[in-house]
Every structure is written in structure tokens, then in C-alpha cells.
Copies of this chain bind each other. A is one copy, B any other.
């Protein structure tokens, strides 16, 4: 009833603590999901990793699925926010701008490595079986649009910049995935630029 009345100040404090706990849980969840994959990860294990009781986790997330989705969403959102920074002040030269984008993306992949690994391992299922992907696609779309903006600088007319962006990011992703899969180092920006700068094949004269 009058529950809220007398805790108006403490609430703020509680809020803060709550937020801390939430983050601790999410971090633990990331660790365990990366290690084991969604299905093999147990709430017990996540709780143990987070140094909380199972019940406590349920005070923050209503279900395992919800925890997982929150984790993915926040992590992707964070990734996305950071990614978008590179489009703030693009160099004038489109080639330099593209280089900056690629280099930034590689750097982010490096930083979010354990998340990306989990993402690759588990998210395709959601991707194809329709889960909470809408937000994720929206982010991706926003990123592609921004990249298309950069590509506009080249003034290419025969193909939409949006499509071009998609293809270029596709190549980038292909190389990244290949590296992760082979446990080899991520590609260098220069290497990628070289690939993009010339036709892959040509008509024989």
C-alpha cells in the first residue's frame, strides 16, 4: 500500500546497488554462456559464478531465456554504440574513412571477443528461428546505413551504396569468422583494403 512512501531516499541507493548486482550477474552469465553454450549452461553455475543464490538471479531476470536475451541485447547494444562512434567525425577522404571503419570494427571485435564467440555459437539459432532479433537487425541496419554514407564518397552509381555496404561488411565478417574458427589472428586493415581496392576477377584480354 504505502510501501513506497518511506523509502524514497534509500530507493536511490537501492537502485544503485541493484544496478551493480545486475551487472555482476550479466558478467557471470557471459562467462558461463561463453564457456558452455546456452543449453549446457545452468542457472546454478551462473549463480555460483556471480556469487549469488539462484533465487537472487530470478529477482533480476524472470527466466533463463530472459537473462540470455538481456545479455545479448546489452552486449550488442554496447558494441553498437561503440561502433557508431567511428561515424561521428569521418575523414574527408572516403578511402581513409572506410579504413577507419574497418580498423575500428576489428578493434571492437578484439575487445568483445568472448561475447562474439558466444554470439556466433548460439545466436544463429535465434537468427533463423526468429527470436529477439528485431533490435539486433535494427542496429545492424543502422550500421550499414552509416557505412553506406561513407561509401557515398566514392560516387559509385551502378550499385546502391547500401548493397555495397552489405557486401563489404560481408567480406569483413567472412574474414573475421574464418580467423576465429581457425584460431588464427584477425586480419589486418591493410590486407582487407587491398582486397577491396581491385576487382577480384576480370575478363581476360
Chain A contacts to B: CB under 8 angstroms:
36-37, 39, 93-95, 98, 117, 120-125, 127-129, 151, 153-154, 158-159, 164, 166-168, 170-171, 173-175, 178, 180-181, 194-204
In contact, A174 and B170 (Cβ under 8 angstroms): yes
Provided the pairs A124-B121, A125-B121 are in contact, do residues A171 and B167 lie with their beta carbons within 8 angstroms? yes
Cα-based distance from A127 to B37 in the complex (angstroms): 12
In contact, A203 and B199 (Cβ under 8 angstroms): no
In contact, B124 and A129 (Cβ under 8 angstroms): no
Which residue of the partner chain B has the closest CB to A122? B125
Cα-based distance from A124 to B116 in the complex (angstroms): 11
13 contacts between A and B (CB under 8 A): A36-B129, A37-B125, A37-B128, A95-B202, A95-B203, A121-B125, A127-B181, A128-B181, A167-B200, A168-B201, A170-B174, A197-B199, A198-B199
Residue from A123, A168, A196, A202 whose CB has the most chain B CB atoms within 10 Å: A202
Provided the pairs A124-B122, A197-B201, A201-B197 are in contact, do residues A170 and B168 lie with their beta carbons within 8 angstroms? no
Which residues from chain B contact A95 at a C-beta distance below 8 Å?
Answer: 201-204
Which residues from chain B contact A174 at a C-beta distance below 8 Å?
Answer: 166-167, 170-171, 173-174
Which residue of the partner chain B has the closest CB to A153? B204
Which residue of the partner chain B has the closest CB to A133? B181
| The one of B93, B120, B129, B167 that contacts A121, using a Cβ cutoff of 8 Å | B129
In contact, B166 and A178 (Cβ under 8 angstroms): yes
Cα-based distance from A121 to B120 in the complex (angstroms): 10
Cα-based distance from A190 to B199 in the complex (angstroms): 15
| The one of B125, B168, B181, B203 that contacts A200, using a Cβ cutoff of 8 Å | B168
In contact, B154 and A201 (Cβ under 8 angstroms): yes
